[in-house]
Each structure stands twice: as C-alpha cells, then as structure tokens.
Amino acid sequence: MTFNTTWDDIVLDQLADIYVSLDPGSRELLVQEIELLNLRLANDPYDVGESRAGNVRITFAARLTVFFTVNNSLRIVRVIAISKSGW
C-alpha cells in the first residue's frame, strides 16, 4: 500500500522560486530529482532519509534539504519544509 505525498503550499512556492532561478539543465535535474523523491516517499517513506525530533524526517534531493512527516495510519507523507543548498 502506498502513501499519498503532499507538499505544503509554502514549500511549493519556495520550490517554484528555486526552479525559475535555475538554468534549463539545472531545472531538468530538479524536476527529475523531485519526481524520484515523490516516488520514493510514496513507496516507503521510512526508508527515505533519517528521523529527527518527533515524527519529522530529513532527506536530500537535487541539492535541497527536504523535511517531511509521515502519518502511517492515514498513509500520508507531508513535505513541510525545504532549504536550498548548492544551487
């Protein structure tokens, strides 16, 4: 059974800002990495990254630090924050 992955609106806004600031090649890399991350989170979020305080987990994708939570009973992964590193 897979998880539904959601991204907070503010995180999507930050991701869009990062996307438009990149050159075309970097944009393609970002899109590919985010698609792969979404797939991995949907399939087994507990195998992605590592745990932090509470139910927060952290991982790295496309030179982003990604923070997310997992609600196992509802089968929902929620991306709650990102930070840019290296773009």
> What CATH number does domain 4-84 carry, 3.65.10.10, 3.60.20.10, 2.40.30.10, 3.30.2310.20?
3.30.2310.20
Closest by Cα among 26, 68, 21 to 45: 68
CA distance 54 to 84: 23
pLDDT band at 46 (very low <50, low <70, confident <90, very high): very high
CA distance 73 to 65: 25
pLDDT at position 54: 87
Q: Which two tokens stand for residue 5?
A: 């992955």
Mean residue pLDDT across the chain: 94
CA distance 74 to 71: 6
Q: Where are the domains of the chain?
A: 4-84
- By CB atoms closer than 10 A (0-12, 13-18, 19+), residue 72 is exposed
Which residue matches tokens 């600031």?
21
pLDDT at position 16: 96
